[in-house]
């Protein structure tokens, strides 16, 4: 690997902590840390949730006290070589929120730009970094459509491109399936073997431990419990690890309830499903029978159709062919627990109504069952991940149903939450209900599932018991439970952001500098306010239409299609002014109902409509011939907007498609909660709360990730203090275009 | 009052982009109303600058309303608003109007009363822009005054009160702890 130790020699001290305390507000997270860390000592950080592992990593990288507001006491020394942009590579748990660009190449280039690398030299570095992380995709691919595992590889590539002195990975596999986890681990092991300095925080550390020479144990109070050679420490501290809940004794299958004689609660006969009439089949010829009392685990790769099948079972989606027969009611648990919350207090949520200060006995009992008694007055959104999940399952189990469907209920949860959830589900099983869960968690399947169903490509490819499936490596690979080459089908997913095609890009309009094009169009649209006569307005409307049809490389049909809805608006403007334009007393008017229609008003309306058509045409000319990334960056490059505003805005805008998907899920979840969750006076505000809370948390993570990649200080403040990956030529064409459209608009007005 | 942090900018962008989608929906829903009466239709105007209310309320930085409304308007435009690029430019005008309110409060006052005042002033931005570009100057004087008054009230309610309620719900959800709304003015925000 190209990780060089240019300024930090192996064996040199890179971090010294003595008596360091770190607190957020009044909450003390790390206590009395004393630690010397040397380059070359790759280390595994192990500790329970809330032990302060991420805080320690941020302390090491310099994000604390720089970017993250935390109080620090004691003395902290970092090697000055670690302060350069990109000297510490950082890979975060949540793959999506560490990116701030749209395509693979420009994402890796972001760090290089922060380092002021010459744009001419960027591409070889980017290609090299992608090769080292093992990600094989084209540079102009939108990374939003990559799988979770490949997103983490991209994040690693972003770090590697900068030749980091230290690479920090903070639970990089927490959201990945077993196959992708193995893949990322292989990367980490390779870096360590090549002599790089790596810090890894990982819950599933047992596979990594033999390869990392050092381990640091953090206890629940945020103290360093041990630091030393991993083989030694981990074997000697086995009991401590068990006590802290960091390792589990090997999974023991728990006896099922025995479902075979029980009644069928759900039957599916050759069920097919698709989203939209022309979309490909997501489910194809699915035949399944679910009986009361059994726990069925649904396995399969992402996109194999697991969630669709679950929704189909719960009646949230209609089959496009085939038959679904249910006997009894079905409950559904969404992957994101927040989607299920409709109240602002935990107790209200559990009672499914506002209960005030008197907590009903049944609710109180369930608070204890799900270990939420200390949280009862909190907002559901303010809970920890585990508590949120327990609450959402508790809500779902409020009523007796024949079938419970849960979408990845133990995803990213600690051992305690997992056990609580599974035990409660088992109780329902004993009472004759069936449970179907989708999952990637092999241990969970071994321990709890009575039956396993594997979906691949929308078809059921296995239906049996775990011991049988365990002997089928082909199926395990297809279900992403075992490492194997990832299938490339996701790369065919449609792009989320519209990018001008080659024909448009090479057209006269497409070649213009985006910033100056925006400004010229602004001025031209501004001039439309001065058009008062029909001929003036008609000429103004002609300008963008001529440019669109002749010089933009767009197909005429597409232009017409995009402008068609405008017809309605045109009619509205004509009507408004026909009926409401102020006319002199002598002007003849026609009285219809309470309207006074006038001819001069009608003409005014047509003028206004044409002016609007001009603005719409100019707008279409702009959006269909620029690339969003380049447009936003050109604001810095051409008009010296501080990069933190342009890049920060871009980082926010890229989440838009993600929120569209979330919104669809949220609406479905609200539908499931039924009557209580529908729109009503008080709900207007809380309906979208899950989405907005998510947006806030996302902004924080994105901002920290950007700063971790060197986007601080001058390169973030001054447009000229950084380099830019994309060329942005400015030429005589821009001047000609600007002068021409402004002159044409002026001429039209003078007419 | 301090300088913009990265998280403030990203939050502004995300909230504004989401608002842009709402604006587009609003464009399509309520454009038919002037068929009845332009003054009546003005009652719906306020929602078009909700980003300019909620974002400054959370991040509390000079220029927050202007940035939020520009990004929101741009998103509305880019998603295919029937107003074309004017969805963006009127956003700037509305943002400037709201900014005026916070400026009068010297960027220190963000209580509900100031939210309502500032968002009402956003209505002036809307009026001035519509006067020149959407034919409002051709209405009779009575209709013009009616349009202005109703637009300002609409801004006060649909942008001001609504964003205050949403921000308060977020505050209770405990996700805003690292933003100025909590760090610089919890007491004021809750009153």
* Residue A594 predicted with pLDDT over 80: no
CB nearest A580 (choices: B14, B141, B143):
B143
Q: Do B6 and A522 touch (CB under 8 A)?
A: no
Nearest of A5, A576, A119 to residue B136 by alpha carbon = A576
- Residues in chain A with CB shorter than 8 Å from the CB of B83 are 569, 612, 615-616
pLDDT in tens, A175-205: 788 888 888 999 999 999 988 999 999 988 8
Inform me whether the C-beta atom of residue A475 falls under 8 Å from chain B C-beta atoms: no
Higher pLDDT among residues B86 and A9, named by residue: B86
Q: A441: closest CA among A422, A460, A461, A428?
A: A422
Torsion of CA A91, A94, A95, A101, to 10 degrees: -90
What value does the mean pLDDT take over residues A316-336? 90
CB contact under 8 A, B83 and A616: yes
Count of CB atoms situated within 10 Å of the CB of B2: 10
What is the predicted pLDDT for the residue at A5? 41
* pLDDT greater than 90 at residue A547: yes
- Is the domain covering A13-243 a CATH 3.90.550.10 domain? no
In CATH terms, A265-329+399-484 corresponds, of 3.40.50.300, 1.10.1740.10, 1.10.275.10, 3.40.50.1820, to: 3.40.50.300
Contact status of A336 with chain B (Cβ, < 8 Å): no
Q: What is the pLDDT of residue A75?
A: 93
Tokens of A91: 């890979």
- At residue A484, the pLDDT reads 65
Domain ranges of chain B: 6-190
What DSSP character marks residue B139?
B
Of residues B184 and A349, more confidently modeled: A349
Closest B-chain CA to A688: B166
Q: Specify whether the backbone of A625 is left (phi greater than 0), alpha (psi in -120 to 50) or beta.
A: alpha
Asked if B29 reaches chain A (Cβ–Cβ under 8 Å), the answer is no
**Range of A56-70, A357-371, A646-660 with top mean pLDDT:** A646-660
Residue A524 makes CB contacts below 8 A (sequence gap 6+) with A543, A618, A741, A742, A744, A745
> Whole-angstrom Cα distance, residue A317 to residue A336?
18
* Highest mean pLDDT, choosing among A220-224, A397-401, A588-592: A220-224
pLDDT tens per residue across span A499-532: 888 888 889 999 999 999 999 999 999 898 888 8
pLDDT at position A492: 55
In degrees and rounded to multiples of 5, residue A299 shows phi and psi of -115, 160
Name the more confident of B61 and A494.
B61
SS (H, E, C) A4-31: CCCCCCCCCEEEEEEEEEEEECCEEEEE
HEC assignment per residue over A290-326: EECCCEEEEECCCCCCHHHHHHHHCCCCCCCEEEEEE
The sign of the dihedral angle between the CA atoms of A468, A473, A475, A480 is positive
Count of A–B CB contacts within 8 Å?
Answer: 190
| Whole-number average pLDDT of chain A | 87
pLDDT value for B33: 62
Nearby residues of A108 by Cβ (< 8 Å), 6 or more positions away:
A125, A126, A129, A130, A154, A157, A158, A161
* Per-residue pLDDT band at A493 (split at 50, 70, 90): low
Q: How far apart are CA A119 and CA A112, in angstroms?
A: 8
Domain ranges of chain A: 13-243, 265-329+399-484, 502-630+734-750
Dump pLDDT digits (tens) for B53-75.
Answer: 999 999 999 999 999 999 999 99
**Span A57-87, pLDDT tens digits:** 999 998 988 788 888 999 999 998 888 888 9
Q: Which residues of chain A neighbour B16 with C-beta distances below 8 Å?
A: 652
* A contact test, residue of B5, B8, B13 with most A CBs within 10 A: B13
Instruction: Collect all residues with Cβ–Cβ distance below 8 Å to A726 and sequence separation of at least 6.
Output: A106, A119, A629, A630, A633
pLDDT one-digit tens code per residue, A376-433: 888 888 888 788 889 999 988 888 899 999 998 887 777 778 888 999 999 999 889 9
Which positions in chain B touch A704 (Cβ < 8 Å)?
6-7
Per-residue confidence band for A485, with pLDDT thresholds at 50, 70 and 90: low
The answer to whether residue A2 scores a pLDDT higher than 50 is no
Which sign, positive or negative, has the C-alpha torsion A168, A171, A176, A180?
positive
Confidence at A692, pLDDT banded by 50, 70, 90: very high
Beta bridge partners of A37: A15
pLDDT tens digit sequence for A254-267: 766 665 568 899 99
- In three-state form (DSSP H/G/I as H, E/B as E, the rest C), the secondary structure along A497-517 is CCCCCHHHHCCCCCCCCHHHH
> Are β-strands A264-274 and A321-326 bridged in parallel, bridged antiparallel, or unpaired?
antiparallel
Residue whose C-alpha is closest to residue A714's, from A67, A65, A116: A116
Of A623, A699, A704, nearest to B11 by CB-CB distance is A699
- Provide the pLDDT for residue A682: 57
Q: How many CB atoms lie within 10 A of CB A36?
A: 13
- Across the range B94-123, mean pLDDT stands at 94
Q: Cα–Cα distance between A318 and A322 in angstroms, integer? A: 10
Secondary structure of A607-642 in HEC code, one letter for each residue: HHHHHHHHHHHHHHHHHCCCCHHHHHHHHHHHHCCC
Residue B190: pLDDT band (50, 70, 90) is very low
Cα–Cα dist B171/B107, whole Å: 20
- Inspect the interface and report whether the beta carbons of B133 and A706 lie closer than 8 Å: no
| Residue-by-residue DSSP string for A73-130 | EEEEEE-GGGSSTTSEEEE-SSSGGG--SSBHHHHHHHHHHHTT--GGGHHHHHHHHH
Q: Would the CB atoms of A381 and B34 count as touching at under 8 Å?
A: no
Q: A150-154, A202-206, A294-298, A460-464: which has the minimum mean pLDDT? A: A202-206
Percent of chain A with pLDDT over 90: 47
- The band of B191, judged by pLDDT with boundaries at 50, 70 and 90, is very low
Closest CA to A297 of A393, A406, A390: A406
Task: Closest CB to B169: pick one of A522, A582, A689.
Answer: A689
Those residues with Cβ within 8 angstroms of residue A613's Cβ, 6 or more apart along the chain or in another chain: A541, A545, A563, A566, A570
Tell me the sheet residues that pair with A434.
A403
Pick the closest to residue A451 from A472, A465, A436, A434 (CA basis).
Answer: A465
- A262 contact partners, CB below 8 Å, separation of at least 6: A291, A292, A293, A294, A432
User: What residues of A are in contact with residue B170 (Cβ under 8 Å)?
Assistant: 689, 692-693, 696
Q: Residue A688 class from Cβ within 10 Å (0-12 exposed, 13-18 middle, 19+ buried)?
A: buried
Task: Using CB atoms, pick whichever of B31, B32, B139 lies closest to residue A580.
Answer: B139
Query: What phi, psi does A83 have (nearest 5°)?
Result: -90, -15
Beta strands (DSSP E) in A552-692 are 589-592, 595-598
- Residues of B with CB below 8 A from A580's CB? 37-38, 138-140, 143
This complex has an ipTM of 0.92
> What pLDDT is attached to residue A1?
41
How distant is the Cα of A38 from the closest Cα of chain B, in angstroms?
31
B159 closest CA partner among B72, B62, B86: B72
Q: Is A553 exposed, middle or buried (0-12, 13-18, 19+ CB in 10 A)?
A: buried
Digit-coded pLDDT (tens) for B6-56? 999 999 999 999 999 999 888 887 765 666 678 888 899 999 999 999 999
Q: Which of A569, A581, A706 sits opposite B31 (nearest CB)?
A: A569
Among residues A275, A403, A264, A399, which one has the least CA distance to residue A332?
A403
Using a pLDDT cut of 70, give the percent of chain B over it: 92
Is beta strand A43-47 parallel, antiparallel or unpaired with respect to A214-218? parallel
The more confident residue out of B85 and A111 is A111
Is A675 a residue whose pLDDT tops 60? Answer: no
CATH for B6-190 is: 1.10.1760
Task: Say how far apart CA A515 and CA B183 lie, in whole Å.
Answer: 37
> How many CA atoms does the CB half-sphere of A704 hold within 13 Å?
25
Q: What is the pLDDT of residue A581?
A: 76
- Closest listed residue to residue B50, CA positions, set B138, B133, B157: B157
> Do residues B171 and A686 make contact, with C-beta atoms less than 8 angstroms apart?
no
């Amino acid at each position: 690997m190209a990780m060089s130790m240019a300024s930090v020699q192996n064996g040199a001290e890179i971090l010294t902590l003595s008596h360091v305390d770190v607190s957020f507000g009044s909450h003390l997270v790390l206590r009395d840390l004393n630690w010397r860390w040397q380059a070359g000592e790759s280390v595994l950080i192990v500790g329970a949730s809330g032990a302060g592992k991420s805080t320690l990593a941020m302390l090491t990288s310099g994000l604390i006290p720089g970017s993250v507001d935390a109080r620090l006491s004691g003395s902290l020394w970092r090697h000055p070589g670690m302060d350069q942009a990109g000297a510490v590579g950082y890979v975060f748990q949540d793959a999506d929120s560490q990116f701030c660009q749209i395509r693979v190449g420009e994402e890796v280039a972001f760090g290089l730009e922060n380092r002021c690398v010459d744009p001419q030299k960027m591409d070889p570095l980017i290609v090299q970094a992608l090769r080292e992380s093992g990600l094989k995709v084209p540079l102009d691919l939108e990374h939003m459509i990559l799988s979770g595992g490949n997103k983490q590889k991209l994040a690693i590539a972003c770090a590697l491109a900068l030749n980091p002195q230290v690479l920090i990975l903070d639970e990089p596999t927490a959201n990945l399936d077993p196959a992708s986890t193995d893949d990322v681990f292989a990367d980490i092991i390779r870096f360590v073997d090549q002599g790089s300095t790596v810090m890894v925080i990982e819950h599933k550390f047992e596979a990594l431990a033999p390869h990392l020479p050092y381990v640091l144990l953090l206890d629940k109070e945020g103290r360093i419990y041990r630091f030393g050679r991993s083989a030694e420490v981990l074997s000697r501290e086995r009991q401590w690890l068990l006590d802290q809940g960091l390792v589990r004794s090997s999974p023991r299958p728990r006896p099922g309830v025995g479902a075979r004689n029980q009644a069928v609660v759900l039957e599916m006969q050759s069920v097919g499903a698709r989203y939209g009439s022309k979309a490909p089949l997501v489910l194809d010829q699915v035949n399944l029978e679910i009986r009361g009392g059994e726990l069925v685990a649904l396995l399969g790769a992402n996109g194999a159709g697991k969630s669709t099948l679950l929704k189909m079972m719960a009646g949230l989606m209609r089959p496009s062919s085939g038959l679904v027969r249910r006997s009894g009611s079905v409950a559904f648990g969404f992957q994101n627990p927040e989607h299920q919350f409709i109240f602002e207090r935990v107790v209200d949520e559990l009672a499914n109504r506002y209960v005030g200060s008197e907590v009903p006995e049944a609710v109180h009992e369930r608070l204890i069952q799900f270990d939420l008694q200390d949280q009862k007055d909190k907002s559901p959104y303010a809970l920890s991940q585990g508590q949120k999940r327990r609450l959402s399952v508790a809500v779902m189990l409020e009523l007796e149903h024949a079938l419970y469907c849960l979408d990845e209920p133990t995803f990213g949860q600690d051992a305690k939450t997992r056990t609580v959830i599974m035990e409660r589900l088992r109780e329902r099983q004993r009472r004759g209900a069936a449970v179907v869960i989708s999952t990637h968690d092999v241990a969970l399947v071994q321990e709890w599932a009575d039956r396993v169903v594997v979906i691949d490509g929308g078809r059921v490819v296995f239906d049996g018991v775990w011991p049988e499936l365990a002997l089928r490596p082909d199926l395990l690979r297809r279900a992403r439970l075992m490492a194997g080459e990832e299938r490339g089908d996701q790369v065919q997913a449609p792009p989320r952001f519209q990018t001008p095609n080659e024909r448009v890009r090479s057209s006269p309009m497409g070649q213009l500098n985006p910033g100056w094009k925006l400004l010229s169009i602004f001025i031209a649209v501004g001039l439309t306010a001065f058009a008062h006569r029909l001929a003036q307005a008609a000429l103004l409307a002609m300008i963008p239409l001529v440019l669109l049809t002749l010089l933009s490389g767009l197909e005429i049909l597409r232009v017409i299609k995009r402008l068609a809805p405008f017809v309605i608006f045109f009619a509205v403007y004509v009507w408004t002014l026909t009926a409401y334009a102020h006319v002199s007393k002598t002007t003849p008017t026609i009285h219809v109902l309470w309207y006074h229609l006038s001819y001069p008003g009608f003409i005014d309306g047509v003028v206004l409509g044409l002016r609007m058509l001009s603005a719409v045409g100019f707008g279409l000319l702009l959006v269909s011939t620029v690339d969003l990334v380049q447009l936003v960056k050109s604001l810095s490059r051409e008009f010296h907007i501080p990069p933190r505003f342009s890049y920060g805005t871009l980082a926010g805008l890229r989440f838009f498609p993600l929120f569209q998907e979330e919104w669809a899920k949220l609406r479905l979840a609200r539908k499931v909660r039924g009557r209580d969750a529908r729109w009503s006076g008080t709900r207007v505000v809380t309906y979208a709360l899950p989405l907005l809370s998510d947006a806030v948390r996302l902004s924080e993570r994105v901002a920290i990730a950007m700063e971790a990649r060197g986007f601080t200080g001058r390169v973030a403040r001054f447009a000229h203090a950084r380099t830019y990956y994309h060329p942005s030529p400015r030429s005589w064409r821009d001047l000609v275009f600007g002068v021409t459209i402004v002159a044409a608009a002026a001429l039209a007005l003078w007419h | 009052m301090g300088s913009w942090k990265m998280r403030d900018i990203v939050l502004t962008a995300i909230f504004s982009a989401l608002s842009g989608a709402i604006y587009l929906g609003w464009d399509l829903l309520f454009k038919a109303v002037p068929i009845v009466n332009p003054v009546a239709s003005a009652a719906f105007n306020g929602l078009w600058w909700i980003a300019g209310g909620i974002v400054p309320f959370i991040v509390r930085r000079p220029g927050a309303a202007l940035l939020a409304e520009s990004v929101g308007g741009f998103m509305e435009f880019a998603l295919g608003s029937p107003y074309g690029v004017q969805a963006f430019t009127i956003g700037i005008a509305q943002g400037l109007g709201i900014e005026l309110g916070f400026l009068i409060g010297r960027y220190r006052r963000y209580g509900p009363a100031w939210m309502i005042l500032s968002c009402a002033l956003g209505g002036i931005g809307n009026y001035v822009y519509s006067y020149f570009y959407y034919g409002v100057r051709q209405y009779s004087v009575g209709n013009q005054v009616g349009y202005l008054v109703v637009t300002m009230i609409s801004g006060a309610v649909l942008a001001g009160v609504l964003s205050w309620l949403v921000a308060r719900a977020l505050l209770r959800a405990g996700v805003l702890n690292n933003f100025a709304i909590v760090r610089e003015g919890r007491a004021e925000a809750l009153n």
